[in-house]
Structure 1
Amino acid sequence: MAPVELRPLRIGIVCPYSFDVPGGVQFHVRDLAEALIARGHTVSVLAPADDDTPIPPYMTSAGRSIPVRYNGAVARMTFGPVTAARVRRWLAAGEFDILHLHEPVTPSLGMLALWIADGPIVATFHTALIRSRPLQMVYPLVRQSMEKISARIAVSEDARRTLVEHLGGDAVVIPNGVYVDQFTSAEPDPRWTGTPSAPTIAFLGRLDEPRKGLPVLFGAVSEVLKSCPGARFLIAGTGETGPDQARELLGDDAAAVEFLGAITDDEKAALLRSVDIYCAPQIGGESFGIVLVEAMSAGAAVVASDLGAFRRVLDEGAAGTLFHQGDSGDLARTLIRVLADDEVRAGTVERGLQVVRRYDWASVTSEILTVYEMVLDSGELEGKPRRRVGEDPSSLRGALGRLVRRDAGADE
């Protein structure tokens, strides 16, 4: 897709989750902001962050967050009158042409901004759930505010389905983005590079989140080592799971498992460029699978559970090899087969390098800018002048107003 050329815009982006412990949504917001800035637009991001958390200059902290269990994970979010006052100040200072909210029905910054703001508003939905009681409970609170959203984006068909089934309406699907060339051109690291007799298999994710599936991978280790005694399993990420837990589960086979801890973006690219296989053993709660795109961009062969989101990213198995979700035995058999078959690995890697161009930020940013332009042009088509984002006067009335209004001391 050719780049969309727009007059320079002032764009406000709201991220609901804290940058103290960044995850997929935070990285998406960060990369989108930087891609838009590179196109000549002025961007400001509002997100939760502690005072001592390093954030880029285009980001404004909405204050400290609290951990909340959501979608099988622990998300760090912020809410309440103090946060609402910060949202108002940020909106007033930004004078935005367009406001882009992420996860606006999550009880955090996005929901507050949707309640408070008025004007051209775009919302991106990331969550994919088969059935969500929290979404069903929150819908009556956000139903009226949802009408203020001019355009909806879902990062995958799974996220779109969740939106349609729980909240109604529809959305255009625009996937998460990846700077593909950063992974394609990364230098392999000798510490993590596999050999025919000692291939390397990588996992990245929060180690103590059950939905990330690390126990499923651990359940496959011993069987893989029987066929390939030199195999090494490289585990990157934070969490309480570590060598002690691996030894308890695997005994002597735990020597094949190496915990790398938290790694930087550059180290992640080098790791994925170095390993023979990237393994994604997730058991649910995934709407996309950004790390699969990163691994394909780096030229790693991907083995992933057959979640719907993963199947779609992997071109129904043409760009990676799928195994039965949650089945350690099938994962072991799949890893053994892929390690032993150079043709299978080469074929999926080649297809993966073709597939990932769809997800490059150059393409994704153009699609998002097309949505912005559609929203900004819609008023003019109705004979109305373009208007900027402002404050919705109705947000200070009723029970909602009592929650988010500028009470005495709330904006201190």
Structure 2
Amino acid sequence: MRVGLVCPYSFDSPGGVQNHVLGLADFLTAAGHDPYVLAPGECSPAAAAQLDPARFTSAGATVPVPYNGSIARVNFGPLSAARVQRWLLRGDFDLVHIHEPITPSISVLTLWASDVPVVATFHTATPRSRSMQLARSALRPAIEKIDAGIAVSEAARRVVVQHLGRDALVVPNGFFFDDFARPEPAGPWRGGEHPRLSFLGRLDEPRKGLDVLLEALPELLFRIPTLEVVVAGQGGRTLPAGCRSVGAVSDVDRVDLLTTSDVFVAPHTARESFGIVLLEAMAAGAPVVASDLPAFVDLLQSGRQHGPPLGVTFRTGDPAALADAVATVLAPADGETRRATAIRARQASRRYDWSVVGAEILRVYETVRAAAQPALRTAAPTAARRRMTGRHDESA
């Protein structure tokens, strides 16, 4: 299958949607398919390490826009629309998979322009999204072109149902489990002689919740004086005594950090649709403490039918509750419980490996293509139909 993957956000800055698109392209290539990616900006060195640059097309320079509690680097307008049209024509795709299809970006431009089957993945979990509310009426003709909708979590699915009036199949984000397979560290604690707490996220983005962790820090250090707190992520931020900043980390350093963490804290405050960073911590064997956002609760409760939760949640935005949860996880008397939970969580995280998630997405592709075949046989000869029938009418 020739698949066109559309990412609305630039690969110049790391992000969940970008990582998902890169991982999916990697899986599809390994599975014998032919994926090509369209995104704004450039294919960064980190992206090029995972995606053959020959499979990448830039939709042009980006503009930073506040979106979903963050800064999204997107592009839009007549020049972008022309680039989208050229990419679709040259790509001759069997199917186009658009991520965040109603974001004002090349995603919605591709949705308008595509004349082949369309799969769309919704990543956003913002119940009061004004853009989603406006999209239902303003973009209805475009939305009706989506042959199959995917939501990365139940939280994201609920937003699709609420604002767009249609359903979506839940297929979670994927990751490469084996990247986090490291031997268990030796020593009394995973981080060495003292317990280590880690935080990973953009430091200057309020919804990532670093402020909640920092407010909890005095109580944490009072209750666990030997606690080592490591903060990783992009963004300029002055941290108080008791925190060690390691800045932005590479993929290798990210694994090292999680593998040597005795507790990983995700104090995010809003707009999280999945929680891939929780999965990475689980796969690395790090016990997880997370705010009780719906997407995080869904993820950590996914093993309840076989036992207790896969991590500990606390009331979102509550520093005291965060401190209590961390102290409980790190209590010496609970060492066996901590290790048993981490083992269960690591096993459960395998379900999100790309070998599983990618296969689910492929089944969606196959269903959509099968349903489109009768229409392709009777419709005007698009590029895809010309390839299927062997026609090469230059005037088409």
Q: TM-score by structure 1 length?
A: 0.85
Shift of 1:140: 2.5
Secondary structure, counterpart of 1:202 in structure 2? strand
Secondary structure, counterpart of 2:156 in structure 1? helix
Structure-1 separation of matches of 2:145 and 2:201: 35
Q: Does 1:208 align with 2:215?
A: no
Shift of 1:199: 0.8
Q: Does 1:17 align with 2:5?
A: no
Q: Does 1:321 align with 2:307?
A: no
Structure-1 separation of matches of 2:149 and 2:236: 37
Q: Which residue of 1 aligns with 2:225?
A: 229
Q: How does 1:182-261 map to 2 (within 5 A)?
A: 182-185=179-182, 193-195=190-192, 198-242=194-238, 246-247=239-240, 254=241, 256-261=242-247
Secondary structure, counterpart of 1:309 in structure 2? helix
Q: Which moved more, 1:347-356 or 1:91-100?
A: 347-356
Structure-1 separation of matches of 2:96 and 2:309: 38
Q: Which residue of 2 aligns with 1:122?
A: 119
Secondary structure, counterpart of 1:118 in structure 2? coil
Structure-2 separation of matches of 1:232 and 1:52: 33
Shift of 1:270: 1.4
RMSD, matched Cα = 2.3
Shift of 1:354: 2.4
1:219/1:189 CA distance change after superposition, 3 Å: farther
Secondary structure, counterpart of 1:43 in structure 2? strand
Structure-2 separation of matches of 1:292 and 1:203: 11
Shift of 1:137: 2.1
Secondary structure, counterpart of 1:131 in structure 2? coil
- String of CA shifts for 1:322-355, please: whole Å, max 9, x gaps: 1111100111111111111213312321220221
Structure-2 separation of matches of 1:385 and 1:279: 55
- String of CA shifts for 1:226-265, please: whole Å, max 9, x gaps: 12211111111111213xxx23xxxxxx1x2111111111
Secondary structure, counterpart of 1:96 in structure 2? coil
Q: Which residue of 1 aligns with 2:394?
A: none
Instruction: Check conservation: 2:269, 2:291, Cα contact below 8 A.
Output: yes
Q: Which residue of 2 aligns with 1:408?
A: none
Q: How does 1:41-80 map to 2 (within 5 A)?
A: 41-50=33-42, 55-56=47-48, 57=53, 58-80=55-77
- String of CA shifts for 1:146-170, please: whole Å, max 9, x gaps: 1111100000000000011011110
Q: Residue type of the partner of 1:276?
A: D
Q: Does 1:335 align with 2:326?
A: yes
- String of CA shifts for 1:92-148, please: whole Å, max 9, x gaps: 111111100000100011101001111211000000012111221233331101111
Instruction: Check conservation: 1:189, 1:270, Cα contact below 8 A.
Output: no
- Segments of 5+ residues of structure 2 without an aligned counterpart are 303-307, 385-396
Q: Does 1:264 align with 2:250?
A: yes
Q: Which residue of 2 aligns with 1:404?
A: none
Q: How does 1:56-205 map to 2 (within 5 A)?
A: 56=48, 57=53, 58-185=55-182, 193-195=190-192, 198-205=194-201
- String of CA shifts for 1:178-199, please: whole Å, max 9, x gaps: 1111112378699x95245x21
Shift of 1:222: 1.2
Structure-1 separation of matches of 2:380 and 2:322: 54
Instruction: Check conservation: 2:11, 2:44, Cα contact below 8 A.
Output: no
Q: Does 1:292 align with 2:278?
A: yes
Q: Residue type of the partner of 2:318?
A: D
Q: Which residue of 1 aligns with 2:20?
A: 28
1:94/1:353 CA distance change after superposition, 3 Å: same
1:272/1:382 CA distance change after superposition, 3 Å: same
Identity rate, percent? 50
Shift of 1:61: 1.3
Structure-1 separation of matches of 2:66 and 2:163: 19
- String of CA shifts for 1:251-283, please: whole Å, max 9, x gaps: xxx1x2111111111111111111111100001
Structure-2 separation of matches of 1:107 and 1:307: 26
Q: Residue type of the partner of 1:19?
A: F
- String of CA shifts for 1:16-53, please: whole Å, max 9, x gaps: 01111120000000010011001111111001114877
Structure-2 separation of matches of 1:146 and 1:278: 39
Q: Which moved more, 1:288-297 or 1:308-317?
A: 308-317
Shift of 1:60: 1.3
Q: Which moved more, 1:256-265 or 1:311-320?
A: 311-320
- Bigger relative contact order (CA 8 A; separation at least 6): 1
Aligned length: 371
- Segments of 5+ residues of structure 1 without an aligned counterpart are 1-8, 248-253, 392-412
Shift of 1:384: 3.9
Q: Which moved more, 1:308-317 or 1:198-207?
A: 308-317
Q: Which residue of 2 aligns with 1:410?
A: none
Q: Residue type of the partner of 1:226?
A: F
